[in-house]
Amino acid sequence: MDMEKQKEKSERARREEAVLEFWNKNNIFQKSEGKKASLGEFIFYDGPPFATGLPHYGHILAGTIKDAIPRYKTMRGFRVRRRWGWDCHGLPLENQIEEELNIKTKKDIEILGVGRFNKAARERVLRYVADWKRIVPRMGRFVDMERDYKTMDTSYTESVWWAFKTLFDRKLIYEGFKAMQLCPRCGTTLSNFEVSQGYKDVTDLAITVKFELLDPIGTGGAGDAQVSASDGAGPRTYLLAWTTTPWTLPGNMALAVAAGASYVLVQIGDERFILARDRLRTLEGVYTIVTEFLGSELAGKRYRPVFDYFVNESFVNKENAWKIYTADFVTMAEGTGIVHIAPAFGEDDLALAQANAIPIIHHVGMDGAMKPFVHELAGMQAKPKDDPTRIDVEVLKLLAQKNFLFKKEKIIHSYPHCWRCETPLLNYAASSWFVKVTDFRDKLVAENEKILWVPEGVKEGRFGNWLRNARDWAISRSRFWGAPIPVWRGKNGSVVAIGSIAELKERVRKSGNRYLVMRHGEAESNTKDILSALADTPHSLTEKGREQVRAAAEKLKKEKVDLVFVSPFVRTRQTAEIVMQVLQLHDNAIKLDARLQEWNTGEWNGRPIERFKEEFPKTIIRFEKTPKGGENYAEVKKRVGAFIYDIESQYEGKSILIVTHEAPALLLFAAAQGLDPEQSIAMQGGRSSIQQAEVRNLDFTAFPHNEEYELDLHRPYIDELPLFDEEGQPLKRVSDVFDCWFESGSMPFASNHYPFEHTDVFEPKRGILRPARGFPADFISESMDQTRGWFYSLLVLSVALFGRAPYRSVITNGLILGEDGRKMSKRLKNYPDPLELVASYGADALRYYLLSSPVIRGEELVFSEKHVDEISKKLIGRLDNVRAFYALYAPASEASLRDDSPHILDRWILARLRELSADITEAMESYELDKATRPIALFIDDLSTWYVRRSRERFKSNDSSEKHLALGTTRFVLRELSKLLAPFMPFFAEELFIAVKETRDPESVHLASWPTFQKGSGDAKAVEHMAAARTVVSKALEARARASLKIRQPLSRLFLKKVLPDPALLPLILDEVNVKEVGVDETIAEDVMLVTDITSGLREEGVARGFIRFVQELRKKHNLHPSDPINLVVQADQEGKELLERFSETIRQTVHASAISFGEAAEAVVEVDGHSFSISIVRSP
């Protein structure tokens, strides 16, 4: 797309934006959600995207699918709630923050501080929200983005905790030490489905290593050749082991062989080697087989480690190290039949080690670096991203120096990489928290059988295979920005899982303090209705205020107040003094604290409150906007929050009265409850003030909070909160956070804060008379890669928690590739910018292009801007021309809708409309969007190129009944078609509907009901007969073309081989082919035969038609309405004049000329078959 074109905004785009404005102004989406739903609720779950970048074609595709189905279901009579959500946690965002903060390693984050890192993540996680809120609706999507949920919200995390605790209590959560894939750069292990997203074909080093045998094999008896140990007296004997991960060799603790396989001792030169007989072909050159034996005879034999870092060290189970073991996983498919075992770096290796008490040594840290004791390699990365084989080469060199290298080679194989940072992963034995998926794997498979998948092959294929081979799910990550794993350990080894904030508070040590908050009595500033925001302003209590305080103090006698904390203002000190007198407290019981002082309104101090409220009318503004020279509510909340936490930590078992002002008092309650600004406003049922001298109880328990004193369960706040077990012993939280897939898989219940609230909206439990609410989803949709992501995590958690699948129907779309067939890339510039594309062709064209493409069925789509352009012009543009043509001829009184016209064209187009509606409805009920959309293009072609073109003269007809039949039918077809288009092309559907709707119709097509037609008894025949007529026309026009005869040239006769199925088709054929007669002749060779002889009369008629066509073009240039009369002046020679006079009446009526005169005319000249005409036209008065 050239730069000039990018800057332009097409008329189509501007019209779509006008429709969008209409929707917003008239709350059409809100009305569609609130309209009567006779069929009840249709449940839709919307997978949350990240807002760390702008929407791309993948988002637009998924969003269009998610929009089309709910729009359709709404029109069908369902209520479809569409609530947006944001995915806020995980490695994608962390990687961005690392890049922005120039952080290279996980250790750098720890040096920076978890608090600073997570604060940066929180500030940036929603940086593009405003853009999304602009772009998503512009793409035509109806979705509630104002009541959005965020996976980082405390309420969401609490529900995630509940899910974890529920599974923990059901013994479906456990901590295990397993071999997992580790990203050394990110410093965390990944789940199986994360790993599956990052495989790449790479070239690696594979080496065959010589392990020197120390123990003899065999007895030396008759027929049994003894294999001697390498004792220096004879040739040395080596075991040959093949590995593709040389970097793991320093961690070698064992070798494995197949017990029942045959192994051979071969001699090459002065050295002997052991390998499997079936792998002899890997040897090169001459060798001699010395003897043969079973692998079981090697079991228990010792060998010399190729790296001796640990030979002289003491460690657990050392006696089992550097021995040969038998194992079932040893195959003869590759290598030597002897497997190198590094228990810390392989699943099979670890399993063998755990079964045989083989030591497990990590010579590589979780940062991917070799540990210091690996002297020659210390500090080097095991698999560096920039040069993955660097350390393998160094290992190879060391082995060669020691004569332990037998062979090296290069191999190409598929290797896992981090799905976010593309660093090669390490198979690494580590501790993690797991969901015990294997315990209910069969249930997952059974529930999957109940789900409708589109395409259907996903059920048994990609998704089904994944389920059948599902492993336990590692859900913990050694990272920072995520929902914290709610597990705490005691010093005695106890493990405590917490499933709610209430449970958390139960573990917090209580001070035993009781807090009472009191506002001062009426002061002079109150009577003057002015702001008094400075401590040295002498606004004392009024007499009324003193009486208010005395009355309140009398009620406080029963509270046994120990301490009084007071704002240093005159009115608050006077209030406290009266209270102390009444309660007879000692002077040392009162303590001034500046953190309790009045809200500093800066330059507004001393000015009228009403004027201030004009500038700061809403409470939320007071949180966000700061008075000049003063502070905002957020700053007040921070200081009063710091106050209450200090007091809580300093005193125990005290009854404490806090005397302050209205705003600080309310914000103290907000801080004590950990409320954000919106929650603060809604606090205590919306009570916005505390009355003069009013006293309220403040229930306070310390909780994890951020710098704004908002309840925040993120690190580091959750880790800083001291918790205790039942014996009062301190607990320490495990430092891990959740895999973000666990969070997104919790979306159905966590977005509703289940089970803590909103059970009227979401309740998966059901009974005989109590159906479930909000569960399961009737429909979800995401891309194919989510079969191992969101689709999987949703299913696992819902089956584990609720016993059934969380969704009934799924559409899985494929991947959109760039126009060059490669992955879309900003660097390659192989795709048009989505917003620029929409500015040129409109969103409807893009939507239809995507929905009608194979990508809807999980296949790849090579993006084509050309095809979007074609849809904009040939489909939407063509239908828009039909709309414009109708509007041109529709009478001011409007044509009545007609669906019962007897005219053959009307009967045919109505039959086609009913056929289209049935096709779309059937496909949509099966969630086959491509099948639903493709027939639309065919129908629009029929409507435009056949029905309207063949009905043009009817539109212009002087026969009012004929004209009204054509217009009424067209209006009916356009109105019903607009409804059928609404899910797919919502903008143009709206334009079309508004153009043809009746006054009794709803204001928007998206508030209308889906068309329900009863197929007419003659529909099939009407369609079949018209198809036959069009075939005749097509073949006749081909014959015209072969004879080089223009369509405007009338011909005498057309012969058909077969009789027409309906005589009413005859006028259509006569007019379309431009012949005078149609006859039947069964003897002709072809299906049709044109008589191509042209008489002088026919030729003159052809000239007249050419003349008429040219005059009509002139009318268009003059922007004349079809009903506008003209005066036509023609200059021609005598022959031309006489010719036109013979057809004058036809010409006059056709071009709507009041008069035709001959004289000088110089506006335009036209040549028609040797005749020259100069023409001028003017509009008649």
Average pLDDT (478-497) is: 94
Tokens of 79: 């209520």
Please compute the mean of the pLDDT values over residues 39-50 and round it to a whole number: 94
- What pTM, to 2 d.p., does this model score? 0.88
The sign one gets for the Cα dihedral 853, 854, 859, 860 is: negative
- Decide if pLDDT at 770 tops 90: no
- Helix (H, G, I), strand (E, B), or coil: what is residue 468? helix
Annotated binding-site positions: 519-526, 571, 826
Pairing label, strands 563-566, 1051-1056: unpaired
Placement of tokens 């989505």 in the chain: 834
Helix axes 543-556, 570-583, angle to 10 degrees: 40
Burial of 40 (0-12, 13-18, 19+ CB in 10 A): exposed
Q: Which of 520, 753, 1025, 1152 is catalytic?
A: 520
Token pair, residue 1108, equals 């008429």
Cα angle 740, 741, 746 (rounded to 5 degrees) comes to: 100
1024 given a catalytic annotation: no
Please report, to the nearest 10 degrees, the dihedral formed by the alpha carbons of residues 1033, 1039, 1045, 1050 taken in order: -40
Distances in Å between the alpha carbon of 1154 and those of 144, 1126, 1162, 1165?
Answer: 58, 6, 20, 21
**Residue 332 token pair:** 């003869």
- Are 1132 and 1174 in contact by the 8 Å Cβ rule? The answer is yes
The kind and range of the H/E element at 174 are strand 173-183
Whether the CB-CB separation of 1139 and 1103 falls below 8 Å is answered with yes
Q: What's the rounded mean pLDDT across residues 487-515?
A: 95
Q: Which of 157, 100, 187 is nearest to 368 (CA)?
A: 187
Mean pLDDT in residue range 880-891: 89
Q: Which of 16, 94, 598, 990 is catalytic?
A: 598
pLDDT of res. 336: 96
Which of 224-228, 793-797, 1025-1029, 1144-1148 is least confident?
224-228
Query: For residues 90 and 80, is the Cβ–Cβ distance under 8 A?
Result: no
Classify strands 809-813 and 452-454 as parallel, antiparallel or unpaired: parallel
State the chain's mean pLDDT as an integer: 92
Q: Are 659 and 572 in contact (CB under 8 A)?
A: yes
Report CA 618 to chain centroid distance, whole Å: 35
User: Taking the CA of residue 829 as centre, how many other CA atoms within 13 Å lie in the half-sphere pointing to its CB?
Assistant: 2
H helices within 299-371, ranges in order?
347-356
Phi, psi of 862 (to 5 degrees): -85, 115
Does residue 447 carry a pLDDT above 90? yes
Mean pLDDT score, 843-868: 96
Write down the pLDDT at residue 6. Answer: 43
Residue 24: HSE in the Cβ half-sphere, 13 Å Cα cutoff: 13
Assign 191 a pLDDT band (cuts: 50, 70, 90).
Answer: confident
Read off the pLDDT of each residue in 815-826 and give the average, rounded to a whole number: 87
Q: Tell me how crowded residue 385 is: count the other CB atoms within 10 A of its CB.
A: 15
> Would you say 291 and 265 are in contact if contact means Cβ atoms under 8 Å apart?
yes
For 398-441, what is each residue's pLDDT tens digit? 999 999 999 999 999 999 998 878 899 999 999 999 999 999 99
Of 1167, 1059, 1057, the C-alpha closest to 1110 is: 1167
Mean pLDDT of 1108-1126: 90
Identify the three-state secondary structure at position 486.
coil
**Domains in the chain, please, with CATH?**
3-172+745-839 (3.40.50.620), 200-416 (3.90.740.10), 511-700 (3.40.50.1240), 1025-1091 (no CATH), 1096-1179 (3.30.2320)
pLDDT of 229 reads 58
| DSSP annotation of 198 | -
User: Which of 900, 913, 904, 895 lies closest to 967 in space, CA to CA?
Assistant: 895
Question: What pLDDT sits at residue 1014?
Answer: 82
DSSP 3-state assignment of 293?
Answer: strand
Among 813, 842, 835, 868, residue whose Cα is nearest residue 985: 842
Minimal CA–CA distance to 240: which of 206, 205, 271, 212?
A: 212
**Nearest residue to 681 (alpha-carbon basis) of 762, 752, 733, 617:** 617
With tokens 């009920």, the residue in question is: 925
Look at residue 391 and tell me whether its pLDDT is greater than 60: yes
Q: pLDDT by residue (tens digit) across 940-950?
A: 999 999 999 99
Q: Quick check: 939 and 913 in contact, CB under 8 A?
A: yes
Residue type for position 179 = A
Tell me the two tokens of residue 411. 């191999």
Out of 210-219, 434-443, 544-553, 989-998, which region has the weakest mean confidence (pLDDT)? 210-219
Distance CA 784, CA 791 (A): 9
Q: Where are the alpha helices (H) located in 419-483, listed in sequence order?
A: 441-448, 457-460, 462-468
* Across 347-365, average pLDDT: 94
**Does 219 have pLDDT greater than 90?**
no
- Annotated active-site residue 520? The verdict is yes
Binding annotation for substrate: 519-526, 571
Helix/strand/coil for 761:
coil
Q: Is the pLDDT of residue 957 over 90?
A: no
Instruction: Give the residue-averaged pLDDT of 666-683.
Output: 92
The answer to whether residue 232 scores a pLDDT higher than 60 is no
pLDDT at position 222: 35
Which residues, including other chains, have CB under 8 Å from residue 775's CB and lie 6 or more apart?
A: 43, 748, 749, 762, 763, 764, 798, 802, 806
Percent of the chain's residues with pLDDT above 70: 97
Lowest mean pLDDT among 209-223, 348-362, 732-746, 901-915: 209-223
Binding-site residue set for ATP = 826
- For residue 824, what pLDDT band results from cuts at 50, 70 and 90? confident
Query: Which parts of 398-513 are beta strand (E)?
Result: 405-416, 426-435, 452-454, 473-474, 476-477, 487-490, 495-497
Cα–Cα distance for residue pair 559/22, rounded to 1 Å:
61
Cα within 13 Å of Cα(284), Cβ side? 5
Partnered with residue 473 across adjacent β-strands are 435
Look up residue 786 and give its two tokens.
């989510």
pLDDT in tens, 714-740: 999 999 999 999 889 999 999 999 999
Within a 10 A sphere around the Cβ of 83, how many other Cβ atoms? Answer: 18
